[in-house]
């Protein structure tokens, strides 16, 4: 490594450390109980109606007669935890064996950590204000050193962030709105109403519309957080899973929990490496990692 | 779940959350940079000269032409990080597919999180005082509610802890000294000099003796932390790996890093669930988890 790169990397590692501490204290101060991550489960996030569109495979292992899978995300476990425990968050390492061409996005890793939280009886607006408070507090806390400059000043989050529906965004920027809309903003914005995984709640007063949201970083960086109000009713969950033609055997243990009854909730997860990359203005997300985990690159160790 | 059990579990989950926050702040205050965990690596901890003695298998996956393995521990990555970054710690989830009979130990899980740290140019005594400060500070910080009672008072760590060599302990308690010695103490104690993994440094002035240590909880609870000063010299590492007859191809990426040169270091890792279990006085480590991960038990989800 040449020295300038080394210094860049050290700055990113220090920022990641600061973020982890800040997020831990912020969420605990806001009444969230921090849980340990789950790495292996009988059920895991299908990652969309068609998982093959985004990842090559989910790792499966036979262990003492049970098939266990590594975590694509802890969403299914969060629905159990939010019912049994209340407000919870997890610094959750996820494994997603992305296709090699995802390297080009600059923001995909084949393993990463997301700060994943869930609020019982929460609504979209609760997640918005929690995240706005977290991000605004973070940039006022961490100082200016090594933070991306905008018009000569270190970037600082300023809330509340604007809210759009994906329909508005498509109308204005076309179907591939994310990059263009991101370039067109200088603060993050919320994009609501995506057609995606079964656990994101459909707006029953407005079928075909969804009570979910992404937070999008500006300057072309793109997705920061993904979240939703959740489908919590057993029959609704069954219906939505059926529509997505999911292999039901993988979700048997999840459906057992759903049948016991979930509570309504809202939550989200934001990638820690993505937050570091955004604040550092790094060209590629792999540049903020000591152990690079970029699809299509052979890792060092 | 009946209500009393639920309350017991909630108490354990709250304590785990407190521990995570305390450890994060304590180690960051002591100059440790917090890194994100690695879950997949080309090389991982062999877990002893004979890994089959403790676990059934390490999960391997082919990803874009490279064989990746889930982390038995991050020790090999820590040696890289301590050289390139300095003082580091990781809240590191480890997967160890233990044999079903390990359930009986009361302290084994097939996945768990360890707080894993490493000190460049550190010595055994640096780890001892760091951990004593951490544990003594923890029990004075968390209050008395739900903590195991000893003679009617909530348990509090009191350092410094006593230090024995395994040779002394074997002499006094026999070859299976751990449980008996643990029962015979009312504070944790250090046990030094174990013959185990290649990366624990051999005392060259005293061959056949090792500069490593376990911290043992009292009252029969047993192992809390495992650590060592490290073998950092490339030739010594080769020699030690050769003696252990390790499959060298698995460690090629690690040996490449070792050849670049490691720095001397000392460190350790302590299981978060084990610390919760000890402080709560729980009968089994699985009792402190919402998602039980006990060898030989089919997990719920």
- Annotate A32-93 with DSSP letters as a single string: PEEEPPP-EESS----SS-GGGTBS---EEEETTEEEEE-S-SHHHHHHHHHHTSSEEEEEE
Of A95-99, A131-135, A236-240, B247-251, where does mean pLDDT reach its minimum? Answer: B247-251
Contact A13 B33 (CB under 8 A): yes
ipTM above 0.95?
yes
Q: Which residue of A has its CA nearest to B79?
A: A301
Under the banding of pLDDT at 50, 70 and 90, the label for residue B247 is confident
- pLDDT at position A10 is 97
Q: What is the pTM of this model?
A: 0.97
Give yes or no for residue A247 having a pLDDT over 90.
Answer: no
- pLDDT at position A52 is 63
| Assigned CATH for B2-288 | 3.30.930.10
Q: Which residue of A has its CA nearest to B29?
A: A21
Under the banding of pLDDT at 50, 70 and 90, the label for residue A2 is low
Q: Which residue of B has its CA nearest to A6?
A: B84
Name chain A contacts of B296, Cβ cutoff 8 Å.
64
Q: Dihedral sign, CA of A120, A218, A72, B292?
A: negative
Q: Is the peptide bond before A160 cis (omega within 30 degrees of 0)?
A: yes
* Cβ atoms of residues A198 and A212 within 8 Å: no
Q: Average of pLDDT values for A276-288? A: 98
Give the helix ranges, DSSP H, for A174-251: 177-183, 234-243
CB atoms within 10 A of CB A25: 15
Out of A39, A76, A95, closest to residue B301 by CB: A76
- pLDDT at position B5 is 67
Name chain B contacts of A61, Cβ cutoff 8 Å.
59, 97
- pLDDT at position A143 is 87
- pLDDT at position B48 is 84
Contact A70 B70 (CB under 8 A): yes
Give the distance from residue B43's alpha carbon to the nearest chain A alpha carbon, in angstroms.
6
Compute CA B108 distance to the chain's CA centroid, rounded to the nearest angstrom.
Answer: 12
Name the region of B64 (left: φ>0; alpha: ψ -120 to 50; beta: rest).
left
Give yes or no for residue A21 having a pLDDT over 60.
Answer: yes
Contact A97 B36 (CB under 8 A): no
* Average pLDDT of chain B to the nearest whole number: 96
Out of A17, A36, A81, closest to residue B16 by CB: A36
> Where is B217: in which H helix or E strand?
strand B212-217
Q: Average of pLDDT values for A185-201? A: 97
Give yes or no for residue B2 having a pLDDT over 70.
Answer: no
Q: Average of pLDDT values for B11-31? A: 98
Q: Where are the domains of chain B?
A: 2-288
Contact A273 B91 (CB under 8 A): no
* Average pLDDT of chain A to the nearest whole number: 96
Give yes or no for residue A1 having a pLDDT over 80.
Answer: no
Q: Average of pLDDT values for A25-31? A: 98
Rg (CA), chain A: 19
The pLDDT > 70 percentage for chain A reads 97
Q: Which residue of B has its CA nearest to A27?
A: B21
């Amino acid at each position: 490594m040449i020295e300038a790169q080394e210094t860049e990397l050290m700055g990113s590692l220090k920022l990641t450390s600061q973020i982890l501490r800040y997020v831990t204290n912020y969420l605990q101060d806001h009444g969230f109980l921090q849980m340990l991550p789950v790495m292996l489960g009988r059920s895991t996030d299908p990652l969309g109606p068609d998982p093959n569109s985004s990842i090559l495979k989910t790792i499966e292992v036979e262990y003492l007669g049970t098939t266990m899978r590594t975590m694509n995300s802890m969403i299914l476990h969060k629905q159990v935890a939010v019912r049994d425990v209340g407000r919870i968050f997890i610094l959750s390492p996820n494994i997603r064996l992305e296709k090699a061409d995802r390297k080009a996005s600059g923001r995909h890793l084949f393993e990463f950590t997301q700060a994943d939280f869930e609020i019982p009886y929460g609504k979209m607006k609760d997640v918005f204000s929690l995240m706005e408070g977290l991000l605004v507090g973070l940039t006022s806390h961490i100082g200016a050193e090594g933070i991306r400059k905008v018009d000569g000043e270190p970037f600082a989050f300023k809330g509340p962030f604007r809210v759009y529906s994906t329909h508005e965004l498509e109308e204005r920027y076309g179907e591939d709105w994310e990059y263009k809309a991101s370039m067109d903003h200088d603060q993050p914005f919320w994009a609501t109403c995506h057609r995606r995984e079964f656990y994101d709640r459909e707006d029953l007063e407005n079928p075909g519309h969804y009570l979910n949201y992404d937070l999008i970083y500006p300057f072309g960086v793109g997705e920061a957080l993904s979240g939703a109000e959740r489908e919590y009713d057993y029959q609704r969950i069954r219906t939505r899973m059926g529509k997505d033609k999911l292999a039901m055997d993988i979700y048997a243990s999840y459906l057992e929990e759903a049948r016991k009854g979930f509570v309504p909730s809202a939550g989200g997860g934001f990638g820690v490496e993505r937050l570091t990359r955004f604040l550092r203005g790094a060209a590629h997300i792999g540049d903020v990692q000591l152990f690079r985990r970029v699809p299509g690159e052979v890792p060092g160790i």
